[in-house]
Structure 1
Amino acid sequence: MNKYFFTGVALLFTMISCNSGSTQNQDKKETEGKTEVYESNNPLDVAFGDPFIVYDNESDMYYMYGTGGVKNGFMAYSSKDLKTWEKRGQVYSSDQEKAWGTKDFWAPEVYKRNGKYYMFYSAHWKNNPNNELENYKIGVAVSDSPTGPFEDMTGEPLFDPGYPIIDANVYFADDGKLYLYYSRCCYKHAVESEIADWAREKKMFDEIEESWIYGVELSADFASVIGEPVLLLRPPVSMDDQQAEWESRSVTSGEVNRRWTEGSYLMKHNDTYYMMYSANFFGGQHYAVGYATASNPLGPFQKSAANPILQKNTENGGIVSGTGHNSVLEDRDGKMWCVYHGRTNKTGNDRLVFLDELQLTENGELKVNGPTVKAD
């Protein structure tokens, strides 16, 4: 799986500096005196949100999972070259005996372990005595094949921290430990901050709800968590924080009274842990990606001064907006890709999948060469 191989060797690709507002159709880089040109294939003809791609060396195929495409479940696509994708049909359905979710099946990620394929996903839990509008939890389903069928392991969510959670991501540490990362939903989570004060003074919103990213150790059998979750990332409290402007755009634009920190993805290079995450409304134009670093998988994490590293380019003459909820893929040749969803002025409101090169600069900064689009 892709997280197993995010090592120093995997990241010895050419270091160049890229602008997240790029509108180029091609990515050029210098390698040993030669210029290599990568044609953009974006957006892919796959209408997924929250895309996740895994390379399966047994079949020598790439498999993609995401939000959408089927009701109350998940479907998959496969590809040999990351350009042409074949629809493989529904791979998980809530119409099964152990299903615990009722609706809103979101953000699947699939990991291979001991010959089995495990799908982590979010859904609305049927155990809802208080009739909460957002009763989201994380579940795990298993299959003998990357194309399913995936069957729920226990008939219950993985765990219940006492608040709604989404966007599971699993990291396999060098010492054999496993870690689960997730986002606490904004729902009923009003937080005081200078942004909230500003919104009240402007008579825009009475309160601002926030989502926060947590991490917790995961059992080896994926059946439970170990210890208590640790808060890792949240929106800035102060308006002087250099992250406050880009992470608060959904509020300051009047779009919605929520600030998100979600869609986390953890990877490691040398002794540094990189957590990529998304901020702002997933259904709006301001959705964007940043990252934070730490020396431990459970933090503390420090957000990068380079944030956001992926965002809309419509203000710079481009056509892409709503870029976010990324994962990372290492392809069969060792090249790293940022896999994310976005929209274009030409394709409308449907979330489509994008792949752009992910690079690590000599000073340790992550760079996404995108968003790019294919030439007309």
Structure 2
Amino acid sequence: MKVLKCKWFLRIWLMVGALCMMACVIGDGKPLDEATNEPIVIIEDKLPIADPYILYWEGKYYAYGTRVNGFEVYISDDLKHWKRNETKALSPENSWGTRWYWAPEVYYVKSKNLFYMFYSVDEHICAAISTSPEGPFIQKEKKPIVPEEKGIDTSFFIDDDGTPYLYYVRFTDGNVIWVAEMNDDLTSIKKETLTKCISVTDEWEKKQAKVTEGPSLLKKGDTYYLIYSANHFESKDYAVGYATATSPKGPWTKYSGNPILRRDKEAAKSVGLVGTGHGAPFICADGSYKYIFHAHASDTSVGPRTSYISDFSISSEGVIRITGETIEPVVIK
């Protein structure tokens, strides 16, 4: 009799335990936050930034992009779930300019032990500095990097020999990507080194407007890769391609298989995206690369643009691919 009671009690205990485990997993139909064991509450079903950029730093991913005056920062552990930081990474009062805050990119510069944000405001390029990827980023001297000329879409690169370069778009017969060496302060350029990199030449770039923009620079071995977007951002055929060179200043040879990301390519097509582009590759926790990019709100509406993440790789033959299961980020409470 005691044995039967014991077995019955054990059976009930196991059933209760199983129900408790199910409750933890289901949690009112919501996944659990591993850190707090509380249900994850999704407040936005998309990551609401355009011209996005991600920095991985000390176990966290930091995403910046175009959305408001100044720049917000979103923080994630897993690239799927993002929390909007309570304060802006860059507020207008800490910057030159008052409107059109576009395309921020943030880099940790080891020699300075500082984070640098390069961005566009009022169609001029600027730089701000912080001791944290969360900010606040502050522009110490409130003036553009190139005061006398309009420009947008900055991207920063330090070569193996320590030379810093700034790639950005000048309005020279359309949107054209140029590069210049930077001075040691990393807030000004050596104007005498300005060199033209990429302009509209190929058919896939000519769907709408003369636009090449959103540059990113990578180096693998002795090859430099300049990833860029082409067409007007309002075009459904906004797309991504790349060119290669043996020098950070070029001359550049465009990849014959361009574009590598567009609405008809798998990374976009698999989740029904159009207007895909102006992204950036970034290093993940495991040392691999991924690519964040924005897309139109829908097939019939450009905005608000939102961001997505796909795998990014360079093959042994030196070919860049943007592939894999596209991550559709969400913003959580």
Q: TM-score, normalised by structure 1?
A: 0.70
Q: Choose from 234, 242, 248 the match for 1:283.
A: 234
Alignment of 1:362-373 (within 5 A): 362-369=316-323, 372=326
1:302-325 deviation per Cα after TM superposition (whole angstroms, max 9, x unaligned): 000010000013997862101101
Contact 1:48 1:66 (C-alpha < 8 Å) held by counterparts:
yes
Matched with 1:47 is 48
Q: Report whether the alignment pairs 1:178 with 2:164.
A: yes
Correspondent of 1:357 among 308, 311, 316: 311
Distance 1:294 1:370 in 2: 26
CA distance in 1, matches of 2:141, 2:327: 42
Matched, 1:261 2:175: no
Partner of residue 150 from structure 2, selected from 155, 159, 164: 164
> Which consecutive residues of structure 2, in runs of 5 or more, have no partner in the other structure?
1-43, 329-333
CA distance in 1, matches of 2:83, 2:299: 23
Output the amino acid matched with 1:309: I
Contact 2:176 2:211 in 1 (8 A): yes
Which of residues 75, 79, 82 in structure 2 aligns to 1:78?
75
User: Do structure 1's residue 333 and structure 2's residue 286 form an aligned pair?
Assistant: yes
Distance 2:324 2:272 in 1: 12
Deviations 1:91-124 (A, max 9, x none): 211124xx32120000001111233211111011
Which of 124, 132, 136 is the matching residue for 1:149? 136
Q: Give the TM-score of the pair, scaled to structure 2.
A: 0.78
Q: Does 1:308 align with 2:259?
A: yes
CA distance in 1, matches of 2:241, 2:300: 25
* Letter matched to residue 362 of structure 1: S
Q: Does 1:108 align with 2:93?
A: no
Alignment partners' CA distance in 2, 1:147 and 1:317: 33
Distance 1:224 1:320, change over 3 A: same
Residues in 2 aligned to 1:169 and 1:146: alpha-carbon distance in whole angstroms: 16
d(CA) in 2 for partners of 1:286, 1:373: 21
Aligned to 2:204, what secondary structure does the other structure show? Answer: helix
Indicate which of 157, 160, 181 corresponds to 1:217.
181
Larger radius of gyration: 2
Once residues 248 and 370 of structure 1 are traced to their aligned partners in structure 2, the CA distance between those partners, rounded to angstroms, is: 27
Alignment partner of 2:200 out of 224, 230, 235: 235
Q: Is 2:246 the partner of 1:246? A: no
Q: Which amino acid is the alignment partner of residue 76 of structure 2?
A: S
Q: RMSD of the TM alignment (CA)? A: 2.2
1:84 alignment partner AA: H
| TM superposition shift of 1:283 | 2.2
Match of 1:63 in 2: 62
1:261 positional shift: 0.6
Matched residues in 2 for 1:373 and 1:268: separation? 25
Shift, 1:347, TM fit: 9.8
Distance in 2 (alpha carbons) for counterparts of 1:175 and 1:318: 41
CA distance in 1, matches of 2:45, 2:224: 29
- Structure 1 vs Structure 2: percent identity of aligned residues? 37
Q: Tell me, yes or no, if the aligned pair for 1:233 and 1:261 is still in contact at 8 Å.
A: yes
Q: Is the 8 A contact 1:310 1:371 kept in 2?
A: no
Which of 118, 121, 129 aligns to 2:119? It is: 121
Unaligned 5+ runs, structure 1: 1-42, 125-135, 192-209, 237-242, 251-257
Q: Could you say if the C-alpha distance between residues 333 and 276 of structure 1 is closer, same or farther in structure 2, counting changes exceeding 3 Å?
A: same
In structure 2, relative to structure 1, the CA distance for the partners of 1:44 and 1:263 (3 Å cut) is: farther
Rate the CA distance shift 1:317–1:180 in 2: closer, same or farther, 3 A.
closer
Report the equivalent of 2:27. Answer: none
Residues 44 and 353, structure 1, Cα contact 8 Å, conserved in 2: no
Q: Deviations over 1:155-180 (max 9, x none)?
A: 111123x5321000000110011000
What residue identity is the alignment partner of 1:65? Y
Change (3 A) 1:276 1:267: same
Q: Is the 8 A contact 1:309 1:367 kept in 2?
A: yes
Distance 1:64 1:156, change over 3 A: same
Q: Deviations over 1:114-163 (max 9, x none)?
A: 33211111011xxxxxxxxxxx2111111121111111121111123x53
Contact 1:211 1:234 survives alignment (8 Å): yes
Greater helix content: 2
CA contact (8 A) 1:140 1:153 kept: no
Quote the residue 2:295 is aligned against.
342
Give yes or no for contact 1:310–1:370 (8 Å, CA) kept in 2: no
Q: In 2, are the aligned partners of 1:235 and 1:260 still within 8 Å (CA)?
A: yes
